[in-house]
Homo-oligomer: A and B are copies of this chain.
């Protein structure tokens, strides 16, 4: 999973039918800085630091393997403990 920040919402009236009722949020990956859209399953809000999973796992996280989603917010991060010294490259 990647660590991202929720930065917004997106609305689409015309959409694939399995997306009905899915809360779509704009997230920004902390490492790459890239923004993309993820379905939310944990009630995340703008500004929160979250865990985002991608690919077929995201589809399953949204329930039932048939939702047209390839990224999902699966956790709201409470604590992130990283040993920066160990992270030296």
Contacts and interface: CB of A to CB of B under 8 A. Distances in A.
For the side of the interface on A, what is the size category?
A: 35 or more
A64 to B, nearest CB: 11
Nearest to A63: B16
Please state the number of chain copies in the assembly: 5
Nearest to A30: B89
Interface in A52-69: 53-61, 66-69
Interface of A: 1-3, 5-16, 18-19, 24, 26, 28, 30-38, 41-43, 46-47, 51, 53-61, 66-72, 74-84, 86-87, 89
B35 A32 contact: no
Contacts of A10: 3, 51, 77, 79-81
